[in-house]
Amino acid sequence: MERERIADALAGLRDIVGDAHVLCAAVDTARYFTDWRGRYIGDALCVVRPATTDELSRVVRLCADAGLPMVPQGGNTGLCGGATPRAGQGEVLVNLSRLNRIRALDRDNASITVEAGCKLAAVQTAARDAGLLFPLSLASEGSCEIGGNLSTNAGGVHVLRHGNARDQVLGLEVVLPDGRVWDGLRALRKDNTGYDLKHLFIGAEGTLGFISAAVLKLSPLPAHSALAWVALDDAQRGIDLLAHLRAQASDVLNAFELVGREALTLVLKHMPATRDPLSGVAPWYALIELSGNQPGLDERLGAFLGARMEQGELRDAVIAQDLAQAAALWALRENISEAQRIEGFSVKHDISVPVSAIPCFINQAGERIAQALPGVRIVVFGHAGDGNLHYNLSFPQADDNARLLADAATTNALVYETVRALAGSVSAEHGIGQLKTQLLAECKSPVELDLMRAVKQALDPQALMNPGKLLPPPSI
Ligand code: FAD
């Protein structure tokens, strides 16, 4: 009976999207069932790949009628296992990558309407071709997709100036868990007509429905930019530098990234064609980007850094002289995750604290970790302008990492206790996925958890959308 139900469902899915887009063979499905880090490996009845909102709606209706749980997946670059199906649960993985048309671009309204499966880089390019900017920017932008970006409320390097993914959205189209389509594709900057439903789906990690399309805000494309790589004695110098930049150049400040030496060392070790742009070794670096329409940003950045250097606040600095040098400096920052992946296992934390508390977090967490795990390597980097750090631990000798893995709970507790004592967040930009459901239960109040569960119950009463992700099990 169960077999028949599943066979009928698979046949129905093939009728909707075509045989070629219902994948069942292990050789075809493996890459969809493993997350980017290779940390989660699941399985599903099949991978189904709809190409239009109508196909998606029919797929979802069929699954809902058959009582089959669904896992939305975009570019599969998420770092919390949110897009990986759980093993042995009979889920259907719905991959949105074929739903990838740019539907419209309205120059005068500075907006673009795109489908969920559009790669982030494709949206950036479409905006640039029209003389506009889509400012969301992540190191994974060549692979991640808009539906995934909105479902994780992605951050990235330009949050300091433009805000998170949520801040770029004017309207959404959503396929609800029963297959109905909510057309909220409004392109309005002002619309006070009741609850702003789009914000429920943004950051919901696919637990409330499928984002199928979005109207995104575009910004003016800056004509000029300047980029510097700066060596610092400690993280406090970085935060001081950021405060000076905010005071003197907030009109053009575009990115402020902090990079610890261990992170740079891994990039230089694993990424071909990278080189240290400065002589000498510093414990910390900042990558600073200015952009705007006035010429002379290089000179402005040079004068600013020169003055700070005279005050003894920086060790050294280099300003990119051309686009190739700028790309090489950005590559040092953007390849850190990839270099860590090549290096091997690490215990990762994506945390945020108030910007002013970053040095305190680094010192306090560093001391506690060094005491608990002598010799551990702490790789720290992140979007310091937003108070967001990636705080990752591994031993230089891979064999020692078994100890780290065995002790991950204790290590995590040390990091997260420090975060919480500083009124920070245990997930700044990557979300909860499967990785942090227990942690969510620990750090949200019963009232907040009740409200989240009430929203889930209202929108997905059959609990078919991405089960086991984001929300802790009811018993917790
Ligand atoms: P997926 O991984 O496919 O899915 C992520 C979640 O969204 C899952 O829960 C999935 O079920 C859900 N989902 C996907 N599509 C939909 C949809 N259409 N409707 C409903 N739910 C959906 N993240 C940052 O925020 N900032 C960074 O700077 C950053 N840098 C990164 C660098 C690297 C090298 C890598 C590998 C990752 C990085 N990430 C970063 C994490 C990741 O790229 C983001 O979380 C991204 O937004 C995920 O998009 P995706 O399309 O890959 O989503």
pLDDT digits (tens, 9 = 90+) for 145-187: 999 999 999 999 999 999 999 999 999 999 999 999 999 999 9
Q: Is the CB of 466 under 6 A from ligand 1?
A: yes
The model's pLDDT over 242-275, given as tens digits with 9 standing for 90+, comes to: 999 999 999 999 999 999 999 999 999 999 999 9
Residue 36, pLDDT above cutoff 60: yes
CA distance between the termini of the chain = 34
- Among 140, 164, 201, 207, which residue has the most ligand 1 atoms within 8 Å of its CB, making it the best to mutate? 140
Asked, colleague to colleague, whether 224-337 and 344-421 share their fold, the answer is yes
Cα(191)–Cα(169) distance, rounded to whole angstroms?
13
Ligand 1 contact, 32 CB (< 6 A):
no
Position 1 confidence tier, pLDDT thresholds 50, 70, 90 = low
Q: Specify the pLDDT at position 317.
A: 97
Q: Residue with structure tokens 């060596």? A: 231
CB 469 within 8 A of CB 431: no
Count of Cβ atoms closer than 10 Å to residue 371 Cβ: 9
The string of pLDDT tens digits covering residues 412-431 is: 999 999 999 999 999 999 99
pLDDT at 475: 67
Q: To test the ligand 1 pocket, which listed residue (144, 425, 432) has its Cβ within 8 A of the most ligand atoms?
A: 144
Average pLDDT over residues 135-145: 96
Among 128, 133, 134, 102, which Cα is nearest to 116's? 102
Q: Give the up-direction half-sphere exposure of residue 426: CA atoms within 13 A in the CB hemisphere.
A: 22
User: Residue range 226-230: average pLDDT?
Assistant: 98
pTM of the prediction? Answer: 0.95
Per-residue pLDDT band at 25 (split at 50, 70, 90): very high
Tens-place pLDDT, residues 59-105: 999 999 999 999 999 999 999 999 999 999 999 999 999 999 999 99
What are the structure tokens assigned to 2, written together?
């169960």
Distinct helix (H) and strand (E) counts, the chain: 17, 18
At the topology level of CATH, where does 2-95 sit? 3.30.43
The alpha carbon of 146 and the centre of ligand 1 are apart by a number of angstroms equal to: 9
Is the distance from CB of 394 to CB of 277 less than 8 angstroms?
no
CA distance 74 to 70: 13
| Cα 148 to averaged position of ligand 1 atoms, centre (Å) | 5
- Kindly provide the b/e burial profile for residues 414-451, where b requires at least 16 CB atoms within 10 angstroms of the residue's own CB: bbbebbeebebbbbbbbbbbbbbbebbeeeeeeeebee
Instruction: Collapse the DSSP code of 389 into the 3-class scheme (helix H, G, I; strand E, B; otherwise coil) and give the result.
Output: strand
Whether domain 344-421 has CATH 3.30.70.2740: the reply is yes
What pLDDT shows up at residue 19? 97
Given this structure, which CATH class describes domain 102-220? alpha beta
For the chain, the structural domain boundaries read: 2-95, 102-220, 224-337, 344-421, 436-476
pLDDT at 476 over 60: no
| CB of 205 closer than 6 angstroms to any ligand 1 atom | yes
Share of the chain above pLDDT 90, in %: 94
pLDDT in tens, 316-356: 999 999 999 999 999 999 999 999 999 998 999 999 999 99
Q: Which CATH number fits domain 224-337: 3.40.50.300, 3.30.70.2190, 3.90.850.10, 3.40.50.1220?
A: 3.30.70.2190
Band of the pLDDT at 402, cuts 50, 70, 90? Answer: confident
Q: What is the mean pLDDT of the chain?
A: 96
pLDDT at 116 over 60: yes
